A = this chain, B = another copy of it.
Amino acid sequence: MQDVKKGQALELSKKLAAYSTALTYDELPAEVVEFTKLCILDYFGSAIAGSGKAPVRMIAELADEMGGKDQARLFTGGKSSVLNAAMVNGAASHIVELDDIHKGSIIHAATVVIPAALAIAEWKRLSGEDLITAVVAGYEVCFRIGEAVSPSHYYYWHNTATCGTFGSAIAAAKLLGLDEEQTIAALGNAGTQAAGLWEFIEDGAMSKQLHTAKASMNGVLAALLAQKGFTGPRKILEGDRGFFKAMSEEYDETRITEGLGQQFKIMENSFKIHASCRHTHHAVDMLIDIFKERKPSLEEIDSVKVESYQVALNITDDADPQTEYAAKFSLQFCSALALLKGSASLADFNEQSLWDEEVRALMKKVEVITEPGIDASYPKKWGAAVEVVFKGGDSVKMATEYPKGDPENAVTAQELYDKFIGMASDFPAEKRERIAKKLVDLEKVQNIEELMDNL
């Protein structure tokens, strides 16, 4: 058994490289193409919405200060080198906390893989088909590596950054047309640059944006060097002094190869359609449904009960949030907002809504509790139940096992389109619709440079 494992172990980078170099657009099922386009549309929304935030502006200022050739467009404005573009755009797309998430690998792949792919595709004037294929390969590789090291790696390491670097390298390698040996080198030098510690979360430092910025950039760097003949360790994952052993208490290398080439793991990706903590989404989904059905006024509502798993309450039981950010992590606030306004989008979280008198009044009627049955199913299911009792004495009860956006409770293309339009609300309507339309028909784009010129 150990020998079989060892036998496999000699081949991991080679197998990933063989998979990636062989993948073609033509073999992608139509549903994979459609889904991948939604991932890219969703990325654009996050990158546009995040581009004005302070940490992103600082990284963009740095890129401007350093300079670079006009190779790829920055979501913060202007063009710079592909490395700078991967860095700035990797920072921009993670900060509003609305980017996609893969539960199995705990990776937000879009913010690392897509900026890398976009930068190379724009620079080399490649097509929408090329971009889609590279994103599929990049997601596949980083999801597999993340699954192999989860959950132990995640304690210290920010998977999106560490494992994401491999995804960025694969997407860039694919678009640069690297051969198998060069792709192995790119993976090796991606892994030996992999970094990003969770320590920043202890004091809320800005490092989270630096992590995704650098992961995207470092993967591109590894691929660009590999193209020049720069070699990297061939066994970066399973080697005795490699990524698995150095950075994970436990790991399962079978996750790298099992079903490789037969599955499309990008299809397991989850989307966030609300701008609040993921642990509030189940309740928000249902309360928005009730809003749509009845549009209740504050006066009509007698009480709201939200039942969920313990972890959700640990993180989101906050009856009196004091900041916009804290409001996103308050189950009471998000529930009241959803039931009164029918929405919990980016535009709904601001200083004004934070102190909205009706929302604050309804929050006093919201009770949040742990329900043992729901708790027992966590984390496989992120479930919740809500009960809204009206003054007239009637009530509505609802329950869900998966927040909307999980593959088991998928959002529609229209919902993601609407989300994008909301995320890009700083753009004139014509501009954001033009970009969205291009992205919806991405496979028809002949030259990514032309797409990016719309920004």
Contacts and interface: CB of A to CB of B under 8 A. Distances in A.
Interface in A178-214: 185, 188-189, 191-203, 205-207, 210-211, 214
A232 to B, nearest CB: 5
Nearest to A242: B199
A231 B205 contact: yes
Within the oligomer, what is the number of copies of this chain?
2
B192 A156 contact: no
Contacts of A66: 68-69, 71, 81-84
Nearest to A61: B228
Given A66-B69, A67-B67, A69-B67, A230 B55 contact: yes
A288 to B, nearest CB: 35
A295 interface: no
Interface stretch (A233-241, A279-287, A433-441): A233-241
A195 B195 contact: yes
B225 A156 contact: no
Chain A interface size range:
35 or more
A112 to B, nearest CB: 15
Contacts of A157: 246
A46 to B, nearest CB: 20
B192 A200 contact: yes
B192 A210 contact: yes
Nearest to A156: B246
Given A62-B225, A82-B66, A197-B246, A188 B202 contact: no
Contacts of A61: 228
7 contacts: A55-B230, A62-B225, A67-B81, A188-B205, A192-B199, A195-B195, A201-B241
